[in-house]
Chain A
Amino acid sequence: MKRWLLVAMAALLPFTAFALTGEEVMKKSQAAFLYPGKDFKARVVMKLIARDGQERVREMTMLRKNMGEAGGEQKYFMYFFQPADVKDMTFMTYKYPAKDDDRWLFIPAINMVKRIAAQDKRSSFVGSDFTYEDVSGRDIEDDGHAIEREEKLAGTDCFVVKSTPRAADADFGHKLTWVGKESFLPLKEEQYDRKGVPYKLFTAEETRQVKGFPTVVRRVMKNLQTGHRTEVSYLRADYDLGIEDSLFSERFLRQAPRKWVD
């Protein structure tokens, strides 16, 4: 009897470990990708590369602070170094789950802080192939998620999750995400347009441990339909720096503190 019980438990064990739903995988993935640490800072270099090879560079310091649990409210602060015509521009987002963000832009040329509309989360971030949602996350509830299969991606065990938008307003029809079983980082994402044609391809090119958090420090988003791609490098990525709440304010939008934006 005892033996049977053990066998039954043994049979159940892998099942329970395996019993993550697509939604749970994506939640864990979001937590690992966009929420590690209490706060985060990186110098971000974005290369926008056209099909003909012409390159444009967007360079900024990105600061992020979690205001609660993973999946909850976050604040973002960005300071632009490049290109020259946006030097000293700052951009701030209060990101809320399940409602539109608040966004502010500081335009140094006229010394004005402007609140800007933010309902279109699928629009391009600074002209790159990444959308605002790719940078700061898409609400898990906006899509239905199902584990399609499990497979190795370059030697790493992954869940392959199919996500389909619940509303018809997204620019993609569905997407497949390869989520590492150990790190829960998204290692690859294939987006398909609403006709099912391959649309965008995201790849995590390099992952590094930073203060114990696996961090994607190089990533690429390629638009397969236009041939345009964006390569992003995180330089000097770091966590748990003690970024104050007060940083995310009009005062510091107007006068970005050197301490944080080097």
Chain B
Amino acid sequence: MRRLASGLCGMALGVLSGGVAGPVAADVTLGGFLQQNTAFNAAGANPDGRNHKWLEERAQIKLDGTTGAWRLMAKGDVAHDHLGRGSRSELREGYVDYTESGWDVRAGRQVLTWGVGDLVFVNDVWPKDYEALFAGRPLEYLKRGTDAVKLGIYPAFASFELVLAPSFRASRVPDARRFHLFDPMPGLVDRRTVEPDQGEAGLRIYRDMAGYDVALYLYRGFQRTPSMRPDRMTAPTRMTLFHPKLAGYGASASGRAGAGVVSLELAYYDSRQDRSGTDFTVPNSQTRFLAGYQWQPWEEGSLGLQYYVEYMHDHGAYRAVLPAGMPVAKRRADTFTVRATQLFLHQTLRLSLYAAHNAGNRDRFVNPELRYAISDRVWVAVGANVFGGRRTGQFGQLARDDNVYLQTRLEF
């Protein structure tokens, strides 16, 4: 990390702060990392015959500059993938902040996270990268940036965060060349994706209530992962991937309870495109509920338990129209998760285990990880992703995609 206070950068930022000519005092930091990331298959080859889920070198540059009420933050990656994707660059985040005492605004590509779940998403409707999660990449790659304007308003009685995104950004689902995804119509090769041509909007309102952090969430946009619709059910020729319209209404609370922290979260997903539930290609309207508890049973250790349920509101209508041979989703899906973390060697070595189990379809996901900071600049992590369950489940379909991963990062 190099700290610069340069007139040149000050000038660049000065332009942002209203076209001020000449050097302006600015505080600029530059940083980044070099990273190697490999995930070895542990249960057989990929659909494309390769034996890695991930094999990549990556560099990130991070620029962070502040002058007065303005801040510019940009994180850019360049990466080389050895599994056929080649060299790519990506703007991970890039935004400008303007801050006043009672309000602020952030414009550009930014990571948004809502809710209180640990790898369970109730109100977190923002884009994710599930491929990153399942291919043993560092946790930050689970989130994709949203291109949006976020307005924060902070009157005394509550805080407001309004997000307006002019264009929709989808979640990234695992690549079918690397993961054994369940496909009800594998023979159908003519596929096309239709992205929503509208934007999306979200509002989060939060405040303290009797020592609890309480939040309300409103969202209007689209399902983040695509649905599939064949052009006709008998002898289909083309499959369309699309993002059904969605509205979300939710709330969360977290705070101290007994010796630990309790988290509660509830959301209603209004499936705007199919309120009657009679279109089996569009997800039903749904209620999601999460209850979690986290505590420290002993020194340097922490345990977190979560119970999560999804409930389909028009299951009868869905069953009535579902064609024969298609996998049947249950009305109610109960999932339990556990996370155990233990720190050693002055918190430079971290052993963690995350496990999720769906009681209905026995879908399961286990992720043990050992991470060691060799020095203040270099850390390595080794871990595994183990999947199981029915062929049609979220994790069960990945049963042949178990992998062991290695992450090495040099920070500068």
**19 CB < 8 A contacts A-B:** A48-B346, A56-B376, A84-B376, A102-B211, A109-B140, A111-B110, A111-B113, A114-B116, A115-B256, A115-B261, A116-B261, A117-B296, A119-B259, A119-B295, A124-B299, A124-B300, A127-B343, A251-B159, A258-B71
CA distance A112 to B119 in the complex (A): 12
A116 / chain B contacts, CB cutoff of 8 Å: 261, 294
Is there a chain A Cβ closer than 8 Å to B31's Cβ?
A: yes
The answer on a CB contact under 8 Å between A112 and B113 is yes
The answer on a CB contact under 8 Å between B300 and A117 is no
Which has the most chain A C-beta neighbours within 10 Å: B261, B295, B411?
A: B261
The answer on a CB contact under 8 Å between B260 and A128 is no
The answer on a CB contact under 8 Å between B256 and A102 is yes
Contact check: which of A82, A110, A228 meets B346 at CB < 8 Å? Answer: A228
Is there a chain A Cβ closer than 8 Å to B348's Cβ?
A: yes
Is there a chain B Cβ closer than 8 Å to A182's Cβ?
A: no
Is there a chain B Cβ closer than 8 Å to A196's Cβ?
A: no
CA distance A110 to B347 in the complex (A): 21
Is there a chain B Cβ closer than 8 Å to A227's Cβ?
A: no
Q: Which of B193-213 contact A (CB under 8 A)?
A: 206, 211, 213
Is there a chain B Cβ closer than 8 Å to A207's Cβ?
A: no
A67-90 interface code vs B (CB 8 A; 1 in, 0 out): 000000000000001111101100
Closest to A57 in B: B376
* Number of A-B pairs, beta carbon distance below 8 Å: 107
Is there a chain B Cβ closer than 8 Å to A38's Cβ?
A: no
CA distance A57 to B411 in the complex (A): 14
B206 / chain A contacts, CB cutoff of 8 Å: 250
The answer on a CB contact under 8 Å between B31 and A84 is yes
The answer on a CB contact under 8 Å between A84 and B140 is no
The answer on a CB contact under 8 Å between B347 and A126 is yes
Count class of interface residues, chain A:
35 or more
Contact check: which of A82, A124, A171 meets B1 at CB < 8 Å? Answer: A82
Is there a chain B Cβ closer than 8 Å to A144's Cβ?
A: no
B373 / chain A contacts, CB cutoff of 8 Å: 56, 83, 85
A251 / chain B contacts, CB cutoff of 8 Å: 104, 152, 154, 159
The answer on a CB contact under 8 Å between A110 and B111 is yes
Contact check: which of B27, B113, B261 meets A258 at CB < 8 Å? Answer: B27
Contact check: which of A81, A110, A118 meets B113 at CB < 8 Å? Answer: A110
B256 / chain A contacts, CB cutoff of 8 Å: 100, 102, 115, 118
The answer to whether residues A115 and B213 also contact, given A56-B376, A83-B377, A84-B411 and a CB cut-off of 8 A, is: yes
A240 / chain B contacts, CB cutoff of 8 Å: none
Closest to B206 in A: A250
B42-81 interface code vs A (CB 8 A; 1 in, 0 out): 0000000000000000000000101000010000000000
The answer on a CB contact under 8 Å between B376 and A83 is yes
Measuring CB to CB, which residues of chain A are less than 8 angstroms from any residue of chain B? 48, 50, 56-57, 81-85, 87-88, 100, 102, 109-112, 114-120, 122-124, 126-128, 171, 228, 246, 249-251, 255, 257-258, 262
The answer to whether residues A124 and B347 also contact, given A250-B206, A251-B159 and a CB cut-off of 8 A, is: yes
Is there a chain A Cβ closer than 8 Å to B279's Cβ?
A: no
The answer on a CB contact under 8 Å between A117 and B31 is no
User: How far is the CB of B66 from the nearest CB of chain A, in Å?
Assistant: 5
Closest to B93 in A: A111
Q: Which of B130-163 contact A (CB under 8 A)?
A: 138-140, 142-143, 152, 154, 159
User: How far is the CB of A119 from the nearest CB of chain B, in Å?
Assistant: 5
Is there a chain A Cβ closer than 8 Å to B322's Cβ?
A: no
Which has the most chain B C-beta neighbours within 10 Å: A122, A124, A262?
A: A124
The answer to whether residues A117 and B111 also contact, given A84-B412, A126-B347, A250-B159 and a CB cut-off of 8 A, is: no
CA distance A111 to B115 in the complex (A): 11
A50 / chain B contacts, CB cutoff of 8 Å: 346
B140 / chain A contacts, CB cutoff of 8 Å: 109-110
A110 / chain B contacts, CB cutoff of 8 Å: 111, 113, 139-140, 142-143
The answer to whether residues A123 and B299 also contact, given A111-B111, A111-B112 and a CB cut-off of 8 A, is: yes
CA distance A240 to B45 in the complex (A): 64
Is there a chain A Cβ closer than 8 Å to B281's Cβ?
A: no
Contact check: which of A57, A81, A111, A171 meets B143 at CB < 8 Å? Answer: A111
The answer to whether residues A120 and B296 also contact, given A56-B348, A126-B347 and a CB cut-off of 8 A, is: yes
User: How far is the CB of A96 from the nearest CB of chain B, in Å?
Assistant: 10
Closest to B349 in A: A127
A84 / chain B contacts, CB cutoff of 8 Å: 1, 31, 33, 376-377, 411-412
User: How far is the CB of A120 from the nearest CB of chain B, in Å?
Assistant: 5
User: How far is the CB of A20 from the nearest CB of chain B, in Å?
Assistant: 34
Is there a chain A Cβ closer than 8 Å to B311's Cβ?
A: no
A249 / chain B contacts, CB cutoff of 8 Å: 159
The answer on a CB contact under 8 Å between A255 and B31 is no
The answer on a CB contact under 8 Å between B1 and A87 is yes
